[in-house]
Copies of this chain bind each other. A is one copy, B any other.
Amino acid sequence: MGETVRMGHGAGGKMMADLIQEVFVPPLDNPHLRQLADSTVLQLGSEGSRLAVSTDSFVVRPLFFPGGDIGSLAVHGTVNDLAMRGARPLWLTAAFILEEGLPLDDLRRIVHSMADAARQAGVLVVAGDTKVVERGHGDGVYINTTGVGIVPDGVDIGPHRIRPGDVILLSGPVGDHGIAVLSQREGLGFETDLVSDSASLSGLVEALLTAAPHAHCLRDPTRGGVAAALNELAVAANVGVEIDEAAVPVRPAVAAACEMLGFDPLVVANEGKLVAFVPPEEAEAALEALRAHPLGQDAARIGVVTAEHPGMVLARTGIGGRRVVDMPLGELLPRIC
């Protein structure tokens, strides 16, 4: 019996990265896939538009959680991957794998939630697909959304533009989505009022890019949290990242849950937050723009990019020390999106 797929292969950490690098990239290799970004930019002909394209399957459990459900999440997740390239999200496809026995009322509620989220994000669901699997071969419903957006002329946002000296901003408190879903799933009931931050970030990105037109890179820290996002970018851009742990906003309910479970809030998933790498001269304007937007009121400056320790993320701790913020391994929080 050889190796098999384990839950950690899907959790957004090192195990998943290794699986992708070993199993998927070599046979399918091409310059787009090699970027390993959350979306890719496609050029139509030599003079044509540039399209951003992103795909995501959603297997969140439970289907309904405080602050959202699999339908709204499936819209937000893909819209956000497009927005992180500075693209204007336009179109989504939606493909459903339904489990035999799913109450049609649950499906109706999910589709309505999806429709509301699409309307709010300004995208159209232009094509779809429906498959059904036998009871015990699915989990209610899995949804794939694939998004297509237009990258405006002149916009070029990605890890390749990160430079030492860049200021790192975070749009708000971390871990709300992961802890809200986990709390619902395990019936842990740490708290009563924590809800997922699931939201479309395209408006926030627009505000940010208006104030900071030379922003270098954006990333939404979903599976694997801020720790995974910063580690991936540090490696991709071959730079060091240094953050001030005390500057990272965390709600008391999330902090308490993480302490109880032994989690680092930096590895817990978000679905409505972004980290932005901006040149220092635009950092203040960018931070103000984030804070002026309803989804960025608690935005904070959390760190800087350095030329030292390339590929590594360090945190200054509360007591003046430094620690390595590792890429999470993988098994912590599966099926969070």
Interchain CB contact under 8 A, A55 and B146: yes
Q: A32-B126, A127-B53 are in contact. Are A105 and B40 (CB under 8 A)?
A: no
Selecting from A134-142, A243-251, A296-304, A321-329, the interface stretch reads A134-142
Looking at the assembled complex, report how far the CB atom of A272 sits from the nearest CB atom of chain B, in whole angstroms: 19
Q: How large, as a class, is the contact surface on chain A? A: 35 or more
Q: Is A54 an interface residue (CB 8 A)?
A: yes
A195 vs B98: C-alpha distance in the bound complex, in angstroms? 28
- Chain A 120-158, CB within 8 Å of chain B: the 1/0 string? 000011111111111011110010101010100000000
Interchain CB contact under 8 A, B137 and A54: no
A146 vs B24: C-alpha distance in the bound complex, in angstroms? 17
- Report A62-103 residues with CB < 8 Å from chain B CB: 90-91, 93-103
A interface with B by C-beta (< 8 Å): 1-11, 16, 19-20, 23-24, 27-28, 30, 32-33, 39-40, 42, 44-45, 48-49, 51, 53-59, 90-91, 93-105, 107-108, 111-112, 114-115, 118, 124-134, 136-139, 142, 144, 146, 148, 150, 334-335
Q: A30-B125, A100-B6, A142-B97 are in contact. Are A23 and B133 (CB under 8 A)?
A: no
